[in-house]
Structures are given as C-alpha cells and as structure tokens.
A and B are shown apart, each in its own frame.
Chain A
Amino acid sequence: MSRDLNIKVHHLTRVEGHGNIVVNMKNGVLEKAHLSIVEPPRFFEAMLKGRSFHEAAIITSRICGICSLGHQMTSLVTTEDALGLEISEQTRLLRKLLVHGATFQSNVLHAYFLAAPDFLNVGSVFPLIATHKDVVLRALRMKRLANDIGDIVSGRAVHPITPVPGGFTSIPEKGELLEIKRRLLEEALPDGLETVETMKALAGAIPQFERETEYISLKHGDEYALYEGDIFSSDTGLVSVRNYLDVTNEFVVKHSTSKHTRYNRSSYFVGALARWNNNQAQLSEEAHAAAEAMGLKPDCHNPFMNTIAQVVEIVHCILDSVRIIDKLIANGLKNEKPNQTPTRYGRGVGSNEVPRGILFHDYTYDNKGNIVAANCIIPTGQNLANIDDDMMKLVPEIVDKSKAEITSNLEMLVRAYDPCISCSVHMLNVEFIE
C-alpha cells in the first residue's frame, strides 16, 4: 500500500521523562520510525567529579526518583569495588531485600498505573477508580507495602538514606522485619496472585508482534540475578562486569539526548523480558505458574510481553523477600557499623539488575577518595536502539490500521519497555511527519 504517514507524538505520557515518537512514511516506504529523546541532559558524570565517596551514591540516586534505589545500589557496589571495601553477609541480604522491594514497587507501578490503562482504553489510572475500584485499591496496597520495605530498611523508599559504602547507617528492628513478612504472606501474596488473574484477563489486548533480538541481563550461578552476577548475552554468553564497555559500545545519535548502545547486533533488549529469557529456569514454581497462566513462554520475542514478565517478577520478589527475611532473622540481626576504611584507591565497576534492566556505574577515585572520572550506563539508554528497530518492523505490519490506532500501538510499544527517560538522559511524544 503506497501510504503517506506522518506521526509525531510530542511528550509521550505515562512514561518517566520526555520523549517523542516520530514516524515518516512516503509512498509506502518507511523513511523514519524512532523514539526521539528530548529530556534535558543533566551531566551527572560531570557533577560527580571531585565528590567524595561518601557522596557518590547520594548524587547518583538523584539520576532518577523511580530507580533511586537501583542507582544507589550500583553506586555503592562500584565504590566498594574501587576502594576495596568488603561487606558483610547481613549487608548483602538487606540490600537484596531492598532490591526486591524496589523491583516489586516499580513493576506494580508500571503494570497498573502506566500500562493497564492501555489495555482498558483509558487515558490514566484515575478513571479506573470509578470503574475498577477494587483493582486500584489492590495496586495501591501492593505499592504501599513495597514502599514500606524501602521506608523500613532504607529510611525512605524514594532516595534511600541508610545504605552507604560498606554497609548501613542504621539496621531495621527484628519486629519490623517480621511485620513485613506477615504482610508479604497475608496481603501481598494473595494480591500478587490476583494481579496475575487481572493481567490474564487483559492479556488479549496485548498486540501480537514478534522480533527476535539479543537479550542482555546479569546471570548468577545460584539465583535469579538481580543484585549480583556476570553479564550474559543470549547471543554470545557470559562477559565479566569489569568488561561492560565491550558490551555497551555507546554512541551518540542526533534524535536522542540519551546515547544508544549495541553489542552483537544493531540493538539489544534489557529489562524483565531479557531476565525472563536468560534466567527463567531459576524462578520458583509459583512464578512459573504465574507465567504460564498469563501465556508467557520461555524465549518470548514479543516486547509487549515485558509487562507480563514484570508481573511474574512481582510474584518472585514477594516470595523471595520472605526467604531473605527468614535468613536475616535466623542469622540474628547485628548492629554493624559500615566498613568505610579504604584498602586501595582506583577504578571500580559495578552492575545490578534494576527494574528496567542492567545498570552499570564506573568510577575512578584519587587517593583522597574523591572521584576523578565517572560513567553511568542506564537500562533505558540501552533499550533505545531496540525500540527503534521494533518500530521499523512494527509500522509496516500495522500500516493498514488507522493513524490513531498506529499511534496508540506505538505508544504502547514504548510504554511496554517501561522507559525511564530521566535516567537515560541522564520520553514520549509520537510524531507522524506528513
């Protein structure tokens, strides 16, 4: 069909940050289909210069409110690598609990508040208060509990306070952890399973679209990797975190203030779907049952299913948090002081899986413990090239639909990645140019 199509969505809604979608088709030939990132650059790498190791995580958590815990964790791991600071088993467990809480919170926020309105054809979660009040209340309840994990363990869910290099400035009480455990089992687990039912009912609205790509995530020998592991590519296997630059290969494109990345192909996918594809064998039976109920199969190549993979992770995080709390309490909570005596100075590299995918920080410290060079490579930035490649395949497949439908499909596609544009620039408007 020799169609002319110009779409321009300016400041895409229900995503974190500012982006535009631009599509330009002339006589049936697709000339342009991309996500343009217009978020103002913030220059965190420049801000970090000269700052002390006590301040690095405070600054980098401000890259993004939604991902503040993730940035903080990666920053701490990076500083500890650079300064040779060992952490205790208790610190590792408390951090894993925080990562689960943040992943759970972020995935609930995305599935219910940002993505679900697409499936129900409304503009936001607010109209759903009248039509689906029980579902909205359930979402709020789950979010509250996930945020309470952050508030109790880290002092504050948005921009956590207590996690510092070498440990924690303050340790939660045993009673507080037991109360979280009770709520996880009595409230969150039933709510999580109800969420699976809700998503199963909505799954019919998920577009059928397939594009096989390279999936990159962390991988760990003993667990579904979130807090730690090595880099894993579905194309070529393991890479040490230390060599992350071999994987990311950042480059500047004119339509985005966030840099793009590529490894073995023109683009790669990071996030819940990549973790599912690479590590799903390490998930619990309950998480697998949830995936099966919602129609998520191993080696899924439909990017719209990322939201479903996030819901599977909600179930995983709830159950694994209970296991972590049991372990913390069995070990006996100790009022440890953080280990902040550097044993070396120099370069450190750290990586975690944050809700939107694999995150890298890389700092070099001078011998006074001040940063001389810093680099942060963010999940959404790594997904941008993949989103563009998806759009180039998707637009021709749906070109017979109305312009409104095409626009809405493209918005849904971008939202499925749960992009965090503040992070990536350190997004969304759809632009059809006619």
Chain B
Amino acid sequence: MKPKVAFFDFTSCEGCQLNKLNLENDLLDILKHVDIVEFREAMDDRADLYDVAFIEGSISTPACVERIHDIRRRAKILVAIGSCAVNGGVNAMKNLHPIDEVRETVYGDDKYLFATLPAMAISSVVKVDYVVRGCPMTQQDFLRLLISLVLGKQPPKYRTPVCVECKLRESECLYNRGMVCLGPITRGGCDAICPSFGQFCTGCRGLMDNPNLEGMSEIMTNHGISLEEAQKRMLLYNSNEVKL
C-alpha cells in the first residue's frame, strides 16, 4: 500500500508547500508512490491517520499548540519542513521585542483581541522525527527525504557548512564584496545557492552544531566588520538559538 502523506501549515508563508506544487516535472511521478491524503492549500479531502505528516510553520498561538498535538497523535512519522517549523525562522524575530510592544505595533488599542505566543519550533511542543531545513526548503532536499522515507532508509545528514559548498562551486567570496555572509557557520545542504547568485548567506538552514566561531570572528576582523553586525545578521533566522 502506498504511504499516506499529509501536509499541514502553521504560522508561515506557505512557501515550502508551494515549492512542492512547483515540482512540476516530478509531481506526477511522486503521486505514483504516495497517497496525498490531506493538503489544504491544494485539496478539499481530509483524513484521520497519516504515515507521514509534513509540518510547515511555527507554533505561535494557543490554537497552534492544540492542533499540533492532534496531528502528532495521528501521525506515525512527523517531519518539520522549512526554517519556521525547524527553529522558528524569521517568525522568532518577534521574540526579541517585548510582546506587548509587538502587539501594539500591529493592532494598536486592540492588542489583546488575538492571542499570541512567542514563535516556537515544532520540536518545542511535540516530537519531531526528521527535518528539512531552509527558507524555503529546497525541492531537492525535500525529495531526498521523501524518497528515503518511502524506501525505509535514513535520510542524508549535512555536516559541512555552506562555506564549503560555496568553495566547491568556486564562487567569489562575498566578504571580498564587503558583505556579511553567514556561510562559514551555517549548516549546508543548499549547494550555497544564495552566494552562487552573489547574495550573502542569511543563515536560513540554522547554525552548525559546532560552529567555528573563532574562524568566523577572524574573517570578521580581517574584513573590518564588527562582530555586532554579524551577530545581528545571525538573528534573522536564528533568534531562538543565538544568545547575545
């Protein structure tokens, strides 16, 4: 029997789900191997049990907490996709400001009309079995995980930083262009896509488990960039992990 696969979105832009619909060349082949039983962005159907539940987005309201528990109960395997789900992503930047100020900025006097919590990773609330990192997750990375799960194999792990993948592509180092690039300390697996297009790494795949912070600060010093600037850049995607 084909595995039953479902997609759910929480606090996010739904860009990772969209990236699946953008697998135009592979979509029909994928459907030969899995049954998509729930995918609100694209279909009406709903199901009770899932072999694999893919979760996009952060937990940021009390309703999110209840809903993720409900999905976890019904899912054999739960996968967090995209940086919002994996570590809070850009949503977590709101956690840097006092919550009352955040509410007031958007809703003014009606600030208590809608309940909000700090933006959290899915794994802060329920057990997550696998992750697909990135903002957005890449289609290749998603496919690699999906294929591994369908075949019952362990998905690949990425142990080198973006900087190494960038060197392999022989792209020009962006520090030479005066940019603050987080490639040296960010987990790879994206094939250094942003630096290959001349844009700095934003750290969207999360920091390495053991980032070479000494090496990083040496690069900063050599290029006359303040540590403060680099730390601030790290908060873009890693507000829940970086302690300044």
Q: Which residues does A use to contact B, with CB under 8 Å?
A: 11, 13-18, 38, 40-43, 45-47, 49, 51-52, 54-55, 58-59, 62-66, 68, 109, 113-114, 117, 123-126, 129, 140-141, 143-144, 147, 155-159, 161-162, 164, 169-170, 252, 254, 257, 422, 426
Contacts and interface: CB of A to CB of B under 8 A. Distances in A.
B106 A426 contact: yes
B238 interface: no
Contacts of A124: 39, 42-45
A161 B193 contact: yes
A66 B18 contact: yes
**When A and B form their complex, which 9 residue pairs have the shortest distance between CB atoms, in order from nearest?**
A65-B15, A124-B43, A123-B44, A169-B198, A155-B197, A144-B24, A46-B102, A47-B93, A140-B24
A340 B200 CA distance: 15
Given A42-B91, A65-B14, A109-B21, 9 more contacts: A38-B63, A40-B63, A41-B106, A42-B119, A49-B105, A62-B89, A155-B199, A159-B136, A254-B113
B50 interface: no
30 contacts: A13-B43, A14-B41, A15-B41, A16-B14, A38-B63, A40-B10, A42-B60, A43-B106, A46-B94, A46-B102, A46-B106, A47-B90, A47-B91, A59-B93, A62-B15, A64-B15, A65-B13, A68-B13, A68-B15, A123-B43, A126-B36, A140-B24, A143-B24, A144-B24, A158-B22, A161-B194, A169-B197, A169-B198, A422-B12, A426-B106
Nearest to A257: B114
A402 to B, nearest CB: 18
A434 B58 CA distance: 34
Contacts of B102: 43, 46
B135 interface: yes
B242 to A, nearest CB: 15
B18 A65 contact: yes
Contacts of B114: 41, 257
Contacts of A54: 200
Given A66-B14, A155-B197, A11 B19 contact: no
A13 B202 CA distance: 33
Interface in B16-39: 16-19, 21-22, 24-25, 27-28, 31, 36, 39
Contacts of B215: none
B202 A58 contact: yes
B20 to A, nearest CB: 10
A170 B193 CA distance: 12
B93 to A, nearest CB: 4
Interface of B: 9-19, 21-22, 24-25, 27-28, 31, 36, 39-45, 60-61, 63-64, 89-91, 93-94, 97, 101-103, 105-108, 110, 113-114, 116, 119, 135-136, 193-194, 197-200, 202, 232-233, 236
Nearest to B104: A46
B197 to A, nearest CB: 4
Contact of A155 (B40, B43, B119, B193): B193
Contacts of B233: 55
Q: Tell which of A51, A62, A141, A426 has the most Cβ of chain B within 10 Å.
A: A62
Contacts of A159: 15, 135-136
B236 A58 contact: yes
B129 to A, nearest CB: 24
A414 to B, nearest CB: 14
B40 A126 contact: no
A103 to B, nearest CB: 15
B116 A43 contact: yes
A140 B31 CA distance: 14
Given A129-B28, A162-B197, A65 B16 contact: yes
A155 B40 CA distance: 28
Contact of B44 (A13, A46, A164): A13
A14 B43 contact: yes
Contacts of B36: 126
B202 A46 contact: no
A13 B42 CA distance: 7
A158 B236 CA distance: 18
Contacts of B9: 18
B198 A162 contact: yes
A413 B36 CA distance: 26
A9 to B, nearest CB: 11
A74 B105 CA distance: 20
Contacts of A162: 197-199
Contacts of B94: 42-43, 46-47
Nearest to A125: B42
Contacts of B236: 51, 55, 58-59
B136 A65 contact: yes
Q: Tell which of B105, B135, B236 has the most Cβ of chain A within 10 Å.
A: B105
A40 B116 contact: yes
B71 to A, nearest CB: 13
A147 B24 contact: yes
A68 B16 CA distance: 12
Contact of B116 (A11, A41, A49, A140): A41
B191 to A, nearest CB: 12
A65 B15 CA distance: 3
Contact of B43 (A46, A49, A126): A126
Contact of A64 (B14, B61, B200): B14
